[in-house]
Amino acid sequence: MPLSMRTNEAVKSARKGLSEYFKRVGENGQIDTVRMQPALAETLANLETWLREEKLDTLSPNLRKTIIRYIEKERWAELVNAFRRELRFGTAGIRGLMAFDRDSIIKLQKDGLDAAILKGPNTLNDIVLLKTTAGAAAYGLKKGFSKVVVGYDSRVRGVDFARRVAELLLAFDYTVYFFDAPCPYPELTFAVPHETIRADIGILISASHNDYRYNGYKLSGANGSQFDPREREEMYEQYISRVKMKDIPEPVSFDAAGSDRLCFLGGDRPIEGFDYAGRENFIINFHEKYLEQIKSFLVSKNPAAGEPGLSIAYCPYHGAGYRLFPRILREVGFTKVKSVNGHRSRLGLNQLNGLFPAFTSDPGREQQPDPGDPRAAEIALRALREDYPDGYDDTDILIGTDPDADRCALTVRIPENQKRIYDHRDYYLLPADDMWTLIIWYRIHRELEKYGHLPEAEKKFITLSHTTTDSLTFLARKYGVGVVKSWVGFASMAAAARDIWENKVGELKNLKGGRDNRYRDLCHPYVCECLGMDNGQRSINIGIMEQSNGFSILGGPPPDERSLGCGGHVRDKDGTLAGLLLAEIAAWAKARKMTLIELLDKYIYLDPDIGLFMTFYEPDPLDGEYPGIEGDRLKKKILKKALELASQADRGRLELASFKFTASDVYRTGKYDRLYPLEKDFQFPDEGIRLYLDESLRQHVTIRPSGTSNSLRFHVQLYARPTASNLIEIKREMRARGKRILDKLREQLEIPRS
């Protein structure tokens, strides 16, 4: 049968089969009845559009036949997942599954981008990337853009996706700067505004810490930050969403690009096996520039000085930091550096492998290579013991970064007298909240040591997300430093800092909204709260950080809108910067015969002006997201129950694990209303629902939904004022209390543990 006739038959079969499938899942309660008909209509429209697109065979030669084969085999669930919507365009771009099963990912790895696997607008594939790039490129041309930096991390076929994107940009007459190896996302965001490049856009092919099935498309603006929400909305609504396959021009190959249109970013020499298309002489040694920038933030010129020397283990979790991070540690003087791999069990943690083999040992569980996950820390510790059996016990800290090296985690040695708190383990994954508190404390402390006061304290401020510990708030205010709290994500935090620089945010005591405006007014688009900001007059950012293991330093107002802040680093998180600063602090503490836990105890928890803030975090599901078409219904169902808990707390009728909750806040900015249409009885609480344990508002539980995936985040913050005599016992009690609260919260929300 000719392909055109086979296509017509497939469309007819899909209409009948998908209608029956949706009816069946609707009757089974697997899909929200409000969404059933729109979802069916969108699935059918997308499927027919792709099947009848003449250019499909040019863009992806095997795809039409693959889609038809899935229809003929009546694989409706997978077809619905692939075609029920377009991938959601979020704060940093797009992110999604490349395929729904391991066999398809392996086929993609083996056969390349044209592998015969199922693709659709709701999967991350070359067609979706080309459409997104065509829209972003057209937007840029209207704005006068001309230069783009393109990179990728270690994910399956990442370099091929990135090259296809770059070749399309060449067709739009952009000058392209292309990394010749998997690169950290922060290195790309540093490259965009760098004086040797001065690009307009940065694009990284990466899904950060998601599991091996995922990939993504991270977008940065001319100053290296994520695009402003207004710019992002215009780019998507006016350009990307309107691109059709027929609008995608013929790409320009690297071989055909003019010598002034294509440059490579890398090290001091070509990488063997990489195709430079004869342009080996057009390589900018950018690794050197990036590492020198990071070194400039060290407080000590020789951080490794002092005896005994610090013993550091490093794990890149199959990611892009595998060479650069050990290199920078050695360049600043650390001599005891162990790169963790897991040779005996073939984990390959120090090798670039997009299948992330260290995280796929449990069949059916697609674990994420997230350095902030205690399970990842256990994998790295096991590999450390395998690789260095004689050096395991003398390791002081283990630093981990995720596949695109923008997140950092720290595993620390536990003092003997506290091991019973931590299940008698030798090492403990320090929460990011404590990591950032240590960094801010240390940098303030060293300036106080040097000057006797904090220079320019009246100008300084920190920026943190509203789910990040209040330990930072109390620490900053103790030393006269201002605090800006934003909504979750570096896009919001960077936008808040920018508005402080431009004096657009005054002394707003409470921007949060909450009980009085629930379901009516919207919260500020990215600022949650300002404390001690002197009516917006502060100007020097000394730290920007979030609970999900992200950190940077933004500095003072930039000279122009295309530059980094004066004395500042990238406007997105950087795991290499954070890891180096933490190593510096650990070395300083060891020279004083202290572990980092003991440092926190002495200078933070026992400080009467700060106290002990203990935070707990759990995602749901533990890995990935709620599956398929049922995911939207599950997330909405849980959020409705969370809103009921908020109502109970306001009436003083909510109790979890014998703790009474006294009030609530609901945070809604409306930023995802396009994805979650407003309903009479439900409006998507995009920044979460907070339940307070006491009138001080220092202890609370937050249920926060992801806007771009079907998953939830649970955060708990507890507070106490311990003394030296009862600190260890209070820490033990608080850890048990936090676990009980999370367990009871899940019970109330009817969510079983994964």
pLDDT digits (tens, 9 = 90+) for 142-179: 999 999 999 999 999 999 999 999 999 999 999 999 99
Determine the Cα–Cα distance for residues 187 and 183; give it in Å rounded to an integer.
7
Determine the Cα–Cα distance for residues 469 and 613; give it in Å rounded to an integer.
7
pLDDT digits (tens, 9 = 90+) for 85-137: 999 887 778 999 999 999 999 999 999 999 999 999 999 999 999 999 999 99
pLDDT over threshold 90, residue 630? no
Q: In whole angstroms, what separates CA 333 from the centre of its chain?
A: 30
Strands 93-97 and 89-90: antiparallel
pLDDT band of residue 518 (cuts 50, 70, 90) is very low
User: Residue 627 to residues 89, 97, 199, 709: CA-CA distances in angstroms?
Assistant: 19, 11, 39, 10
Amino acid residing at 273:
G
SS3 620: strand
pTM of the full structure? 0.96
* C-alpha angle 462-463-466 in degrees, rounded to nearest 5: 130
pLDDT band of residue 512 (cuts 50, 70, 90) is very low
Determine the Cα–Cα distance for residues 92 and 217; give it in Å rounded to an integer.
8
Determine the Cα–Cα distance for residues 145 and 174; give it in Å rounded to an integer.
8
User: Do the beta carbons of residue 714 and residue 618 sit within 8 Å?
Assistant: yes
What is the CB neighbour count within 10 angstroms for residue 30? 18
Tell which residue, 315, 299, 329, 291, has the closest CA to residue 407. 315
User: Do the beta carbons of residue 722 and residue 605 sit within 8 Å?
Assistant: yes
First to last CA, the chain: 47
User: Do the beta carbons of residue 432 and residue 547 sit within 8 Å?
Assistant: yes
Handedness of CA 633, 127, 672, 405 (dihedral sign): positive
User: Do the beta carbons of residue 486 and residue 464 sit within 8 Å?
Assistant: yes
Amino acid residing at 267:
G
Determine the Cα–Cα distance for residues 133 and 555; give it in Å rounded to an integer.
32
Q: How big, in percent rounded to 5, are the helix, strand and coil portions of the chain?
A: 40, 20, 45
pLDDT digits (tens, 9 = 90+) for 244-277: 999 999 999 999 998 789 999 999 999 999 999 9
Please name each of the domains of the chain with its CATH number.
Answer: 1-85 (no CATH), 88-292 (3.40.120.10), 294-434 (3.40.120.10), 435-605 (3.40.120.10), 612-749 (3.30.310)
Give the pLDDT mean for 2-25: 89
pLDDT over threshold 70, residue 515? no
Tokens of 8: 């017509």
Tell which residue, 206, 177, 181, 208, has the closest CA to residue 190. 177
Determine the Cα–Cα distance for residues 554 and 545; give it in Å rounded to an integer.
11
Q: Mean pLDDT of all residues in the chain?
A: 93
pLDDT digits (tens, 9 = 90+) for 304-352: 988 789 999 999 999 999 999 999 999 999 999 999 999 888 899 999 9
Give the pLDDT mean for 547-554: 97
Give CA torsion, residues 700, 706, 711, 715, to 10 deg: -20
